[in-house]
Structure 1
Amino acid sequence: MYLKRLSLRHFRNYPEQTVSFTAAKTILLGDNAQGKSNLLEAVEWLATLQSHRTPRDRDLIQHGHTTAQMTAEVERQGIPLELTGVLRQGGGRSLRVNGCTVRRTLDFLGQLNVVEFSCLDLDLVRGTPALRRSWLDRILVQLEPVYSQLLQSYQKTLRQRNALLKQGTGIDEGLWQAWNQQLAVTGTRMMRRRQRLIERLAPLASHWHQVLSGDREVLTLSYHSHVPIADPSPEAMLVRFMERLAERRSLELIHKTTLVGPHRDDVGFDLNHQPARQYASQGQQRTLVLALKLAELALVEAVVGESPLLLLDDVLAELDLYRQQILLEVMGDRYQTLITTTHLTPFATPWRSDAQVLKVAGGQIAAVAGTAVETSS
């Protein structure tokens, strides 16, 4: 999988820009707040139809404009592919594949696969459960595009059920049970997929953590659900989900919100059988997150049968020299990599000489050191 060209129009701080990628490794060089991360964000959006930086599409539209457009020209298994997303300030979006409008997100997702690693990911260990849930969901959307519809269905059901809870007493029992059933059905399907994802990531993350820690630590991953998963069969989980909803009904009426379901679940990271969230040092947290990202990279590649794009947003400065070297060695020429940085110091001369270096300043991109970039305005 190779990203050949990216065109942006009124996206974030880019009025109009087209960039051609001429090497397996592209270094985006520039000061902070110049647009480096925005470029990676556009690629991420075309892969997942969402940004890890904001849940609202309208935040991606350049100030003073009503629409934004992103187009990626990709080569996948030797076949050219063009992906276009158009965002509208008033809401709504349109998607095109090879110039043809697609109505279903299923027909768009999975065409471009990326693994994104930013400084924000360093909060995965000690950050909120919502961050860890979002991390799982972004992976699943790429591996199983149907998961995006499942997620949307669950969120819609959750909003309807919460609206009922806000009514307090006098809830229509038939309507209440109907929403309970819908929440349990979609919630069970989500939890089973998340659980399977953790089971596939766990050995890969454990391997990389052993490499990074010099075999001094053992990393284990676990999925923590508000619905106990003793029996992972769909039927048993559905029954337990419904039982759990009945058990928490009184408490939910007090809090006027749904307290059971995958929107409340979490992921556990343990180092040597101790919760990393409470006991891991800052260095251990960075090692753990790097192991997670390397595991994610390996899993996506194994599932889709092609190397995904690797997007590294300002992370080298957060890693020590040893971990920087491990990451750069893993990248090699195996993965097309877009990496942002404020300076070139972390990149050894041989590695840098094979890379395309682009200077980013004020939403404008220019070639550095003889590398090629195509721009339009």
Structure 2
Amino acid sequence: MRFTKVTLQGFRNLPLVDVTLAGRRTFLCGANAQGKTNFLEALGYVTALRSFRGAESRALLGLGQPQAGLAFTVEHETFGESRLTITLTPQDRVVEWEHGKVARLADFIGKFPTVVFSSQDIQFLRGSPSLRRRWLDLTLAAMDAAYLTALQRYTRAVAERNMLLKQGGRDVGALEAFEHELAAHALTLVARRTAGVVELGEFFHAAHARLVPEGERAGLVYAPDSVVASAGEFTAVLVKCRPRDTLLKSTERGPHRDDLELVLNGRPARQFASEGQQRCLVIALRLAQAAYFRAKGGVTPVLLCDDVLGELDPGRREKFWASLEGEPQVIATGTSRPANDGGWQILSVVNGSIAS
């Protein structure tokens, strides 16, 4: 897949952007807070119709703007040349492409895959489990409609059970109904996460091996909150936890508490890996995500590199470029031009304006 033309209006601090992307490598150069990351955020929005920063729609609108418009022309392995348009308002989004208006997220998510490499990715190791769960959910849901459906229904059931708990948990019949629904979807999520982490782990190990010296071995370990063999067993766990959950007014057990651990040479990377090793691990995780998308969907994702290449020493940068498979389009940002800019289309970003 490759973006060939991007038009943005009223998106973040980008009042009007209309650029043609030439070749496979584009570099957006400019000082901080000029709009480079906002441009990548707009491109990344097409994968799951959500911001990779986790921002709500209203935060994506320019100051004082009633809406934002995003239009993309994309060369695609399956759909050929496609044009996508997205209109964002504080309350809604409208997505249209050759197949018509998108009515359901499941009909669109993952069709136009992008993978974002960010300097903030280091928080995968250092941050809370919710960051790693979110990454895993987005990765699996983009390629598995059944996973997305189970995740949406499980999340709604948790919200409904929590509402009942906040009311004191007096309606036992309603609690039981939502607990049975939770249990069914929980079993699906755990099974698909288990299989998905095995596949991602293989891609992760291979990507990491291409970035580091011999002797370092990386892996992914899925850590489910509850290990149960059936929906009935998970229902029993929820029933047992009701008194405590009622006091806390929230559901404390289940897949929404799962974790994903990165390990290096058999030990937790967050505790034993050096700064340089940690950065290689999170880059390998993103490369694994790209390989997973390509294997599952048959489409080479666009790589959006937000100010990360400059953080790598020359040796690691060289290994990064050598590790890329399938000749992906790379759109990168930085405050200074690449050391070797012969193969790059260079775009200058100044105060929300982007030009060659």
Secondary structure at the counterpart of residue 125 of structure 1: helix
Which residues in structure 2 correspond to 1:251-262 (within 5 Å)?
251-262=244-255
- 1:181 corresponds to: 180
Which residues in structure 2 correspond to 1:33-44 (within 5 Å)?
33-44=33-44
Which of 314, 318, 331 is matched with 1:321 structurally? 314
Secondary structure at the counterpart of residue 95 of structure 1: strand
Secondary structure at the counterpart of residue 125 of structure 2: coil
1:354 matches 2:343: yes
The 1:353–1:237 alpha-carbon spacing in structure 2 relative to 1, beyond 3 Å, is: farther
Distance 1:323 1:188 in 2: 40
Distance 1:191 1:164 in 2: 25
Shift of 1:223: 0.9
CA contact (8 A) 1:157 1:183 kept: yes
In the alignment of these two chains, the number of paired residues is 355
Shift of 1:92: 1.6
- 2:75 corresponds to: 75
The 1:5–1:146 alpha-carbon spacing in structure 2 relative to 1, beyond 3 Å, is: farther
Shift of 1:114: 0.9
1:293 matches 2:282: no
Distance 1:333 1:103 in 2: 32
- 2:343 aligned partner, one-letter code: D
Shift of 1:209: 2.4
Shift of 1:328: 2.1
Distance 2:236 2:127 in 1: 30
Secondary structure at the counterpart of residue 53 of structure 2: coil
CA contact (8 A) 1:67 1:86 kept: yes
Which residues in structure 2 correspond to 1:1-377 (within 5 Å)?
1-77=1-77, 79-89=80-90, 91-98=91-98, 100-169=100-169, 171-228=170-227, 236-331=229-324, 334-345=327-338, 347-348=339-340, 352-367=341-356
Distance 2:247 2:26 in 1: 54
- 1:80 aligned partner, one-letter code: E
Secondary structure at the counterpart of residue 333 of structure 2: strand
Distance 2:255 2:287 in 1: 25
Distance 2:150 2:200 in 1: 21
CA deviation string 1:164-223 (max 9, x = no partner): 111225x21211111101112222222222222211011221223233331222222111
Secondary structure at the counterpart of residue 344 of structure 1: coil
Shift of 1:146: 4.7
Shift of 1:333: 7.6
Structure-1-length-normalised TM-score = 0.89
Shift of 1:99: 7.7
Identity of matched residues, %: 36
CA contact (8 A) 1:270 1:276 kept: yes
Shift of 1:100: 2.7
Shift of 1:142: 2.0
Distance 1:215 1:240 in 2: 44
CA contact (8 A) 1:82 1:99 kept: no
CA deviation string 1:270-329 (max 9, x = no partner): 222211122222122112112212222222111111211111111112222222111122
CA deviation string 1:64-121 (max 9, x = no partner): 01111111111212712112221112x1211111283221122222321111111111
Distance 1:323 1:251 in 2: 49
Secondary structure at the counterpart of residue 334 of structure 1: coil
The 1:94–1:147 alpha-carbon spacing in structure 2 relative to 1, beyond 3 Å, is: farther
Secondary structure at the counterpart of residue 226 of structure 2: coil
Q: Which runs of 5+ in 2 are unaligned?
A: none
Distance 1:131 1:216 in 2: 29
Of the structure 1 ranges 356-365 and 191-200, higher mean CA displacement relative to structure 2 is found in: 191-200
CA contact (8 A) 2:300 2:326 kept: no
Distance 1:283 1:314 in 2: 16
Distance 2:181 2:309 in 1: 44
CA RMSD of aligned residues (A): 1.8
Q: Which runs of 5+ in 1 are unaligned?
A: 230-235, 368-377
- 1:370 corresponds to: none
